Amino acid sequence: MIEFREVFFEYEDNKWAVENLNFSFDKGQFVSIIGGNGSGKSTIARLANGLLLSQKGKVIVDGITTNDPNIGNSIKAKVGIVFQNPDNQFIGMTVEEDIAFGLENLNVDRNEAHRRVTEVSEMLGIEKYLSSPPSILSGGEKQKVAIAGALVLTPEYLVLDEVTSLLDPISRREIISIVKSLVKNQGIGVLYITHNTEEIVDSDYIVAINKGKIVTKGKAKEVFSNVEYLHSIGVSVPGDIYVSYYLKKRGLLSEDVFFEQEIIKRLC
Ligand SMILES: Nc1ncnc2c1ncn2[C@@H]1O[C@H](COP(=O)(O)OP(=O)(O)OP(=O)(O)O)[C@@H](O)[C@H]1O
Ligand SMILES: [Mg+2]
């Protein structure tokens, strides 16, 4: 389990970027974070895998506090992280070198590294590119390579910070379905940060943040029911929820009805 206990973090400007965060998520869960620009989402991502350390409060990963000086690389081995722009994550001459980069740093033997890279690439459907230079890949393929680089390290948790935001709708759907299958079939715990709220309606729960503070936490139906408030903090709700909200406001629906099919059933 990854637990945030009364976590505060400030950059060098003596201003809390995140304040008093309390939430946790476990292996096999898909938990999402939403919030406007600058609300603190990427800060939370970096706190979750020890890239940043809180000045107040604790982030605890399977019982280990991230700012304990004696833990070595154990948190980074447990918690993988992938960011928005895959171009910034490439260092190798070939896709295989790129995916294997983290393994080399851990001194994993070459044969074992090749085995793991092949296995993960097959799962993500990018095995045909292993000997190609990363520069020839499309945005969606590059993002799969970045996810593969995290998965070869066999993480127990994965933090994904806006990994679909630069992708077209088809690649976006493909990535999200891969991520959800990792949760379901491999029991990985995923912390998923996005501005695309359509992607997260089936989250185990959603955390909404504003100005570094958690403002709502719950299932999609609860969190997205406050359409106007979410808009005011820079979060747009999924299209069907917005339609339902608008129809209710105009008196065409008498209750909150989410999801396209339900709305059609009520109206037709
Ligand atoms: N390296 C940094 N140094 C100083 N302040 C920073 C740094 N990184 C982020 N901040 C500040 O911390 C706050 C939270 O930033 P963060 O990047 O976590 O937001 P975010 O929710 O990820 O935003 P976005 O949606 O734009 O990605 C912002 O006020 C930002 O200006
Ligand atoms: Mg961010």
213-248 tens-digit pLDDT: 999 999 998 999 889 999 999 999 888 888 888 888
84 in ligand 1 pocket by Cβ < 6 Å? no
Residue with tokens 């066999």, as numbered in its chain? 154
Residue 262 has a pLDDT of: 72
Query: For residue 96, is pLDDT > 90?
Result: yes
Nearest ligand for residue 44 CA:
1
Report the predicted TM-score, pTM, of the whole model to 2 decimal places.
Answer: 0.92
Domain residue spans of the chain: 2-220
The closest alpha carbon to 195, from 5, 38, 49, 50, belongs to: 38
- In whole angstroms, give the CA distance from residue 256 to residue 245: 7
Q: What is the dotted CATH code of the domain comprising 2-220?
A: 3.40.50.300
Residue 132 has a pLDDT of: 94
194 in ligand 1 pocket by Cβ < 6 Å? no
Residues whose Cβ atom is located within 5 A of ion ligand 2 = 41-42
Residue 129 has a pLDDT of: 95
Residue 200 has a pLDDT of: 94
- Summarize the confidence of residues 123-128 as an average pLDDT: 91
- In whole angstroms, give the CA distance from residue 145 to residue 100: 10
Query: For residue 257, is pLDDT > 80?
Result: no
Burial zone of 20 (CB within 10 Å; 0-12 exposed, 13-18 middle, 19+ buried)? middle
Residue 258 has a pLDDT of: 65
Ligand 1 pocket: which of 7, 11, 210 to mutate (most atoms <8 Å of CB)?
A: 11
Residue 38 has a pLDDT of: 95
**Neighbouring residues of 115: CB distance < 8 A, sequence distance ≥ 6:** none
Confidence of residue 197 (pLDDT cuts 50, 70, 90): very high
Ligand 1 pocket: which of 7, 15, 16, 42 to mutate (most atoms <8 Å of CB)?
A: 42
Residue 140 has a pLDDT of: 86
- Give the Cα-Cα-Cα angle 6, 11, 14 (nearest 5 degrees): 85
CA 38–ligand 2 middle distance (angstroms):
7
Pairing of strands 205-210, 30-35: parallel
